[in-house]
Amino acid sequence: MPQLYLPIAIIIVFFILLFFFTRKRDSNFKKENILIPLETNNGGQNRIPNEDLPKEVKKNKIYYQKLLKKRRSLQIYKLDKFAIKTSRELNTNQKEFLYKELKKFPLPSGAAWQLSEMLRDPLVDSKEVAALASTDPVISGRLLALVNSAYFRPSSGNNITSIHHAILYLGFNQVRNLLFQLMLEQTINKHSPLPKEEINKIWLHSAAVSVAAGEIAKRLQEHPGLALTAGLMHDVGKFFLPYFKQEDTGSLLLHEDTEDLPPIISEENVTGFSHPVIGEVLCYIWRLPKEIAKTVAYHHFGDFKRIEKLSSKEKKVIITVALADYICHLLGYAEEEPFLYEIPKEALKSCGFPVCPEFLITPQLEKEIEKMIKLLKGYTT
């Protein structure tokens, strides 16, 4: 009989050891720090202690480890040592030239413009807005398509057929964003020298940034409407860059001797201007809110000192859109080969954001961006 007990005892001991081993291994996994790609003085990489990780990251470590791995695979540019010009740094001749050229591209002055002006007043009567929107079939059609899309109404139910109901359901921020998009589409389709395919790529990237900026601003509870529109507008200068191509440069494609430069610097070398400064001047010509113009001008600020003295509202919108742009490039929603512009840690801390931008991404945010991209592809194809 004792011989029979021996195998049983061995099996019991084995399972006891296995239990403690797996428990210890699981405990070690829980204590494991996430590797984040921050440079150290010795060329290594820092780790964030487990207790300092945001709750969302702790719950989904594998998801964030994949994001950080993807970040390490991309080219990351630092802009702190480059003087990226805004309109303030242009000389008198450059300003006059830029304003003269860009005034050739006005926004349409029809119902969309009138509606956007009405919506500047948060107390405007929604029935008056609906009455004016109903006079334009393009605006009416786009409003109804948007409000009945999977993006806004994922659950089954009766379609909304009333323009007034659609405006109330979407809210003034979304309606105003739609109006800007319609006006920009008309202006860009009429005046941009870029091929249709390039225009569509920039549009889809801008829409993704708009969604991401709006979602981040909601979490921050700071100016989601402004962030939404500023995100849509941030790259508007790219549509008009070819107009400023210098004669002796031949092409807007990067030259061999500029391949190591950040794209925005190569862009300035080729055209004489960068897309942020072109977009900034367009915002002033189109009489858009100054916070949007500042965001377009500074969304690649590089050095926190460049925006430190701006108003708190302007800084928050700028940093939010810069983050949204970073996130969309990381996730592959870019109009060119994906790369990243590093965002200074001081800027992130000033808004209460984690120093690792990837920690602002969530699976839900990815879904929201993807839904909007699918929706817009229906309009751009």
Residue boundaries of the structural domains of the chain: 77-105+172-380
DSSP string, 314-369: HHHHHHHHHHHHHHHHHTT--SSS--EEPPPHHHHHHTT--SSGGGG--HHHHHHH
CATH number attached to the domain at 77-105+172-380: 1.10.3210.10
pTM equals: 0.82
pLDDT of 264 reads 93
For tokens 């990381």, the residue is 330
Per-residue pLDDT at 95 exceeds 80: yes
Beta strands in 58-150 (DSSP E): 76-77
Phi, psi of 193 (to 5 degrees): -80, 0
pLDDT, tens digit, 9 for 90 and up, residues 295-305: 999 999 989 99
Contact present, 90 and 153 (Cβ < 8 Å) = no
For 196-254, what is each residue's pLDDT tens digit? 999 999 999 999 999 999 999 988 888 888 899 999 999 999 999 999 876 543 444 44
* Mean per-residue pLDDT of the chain: 83
pLDDT at site 83: 79
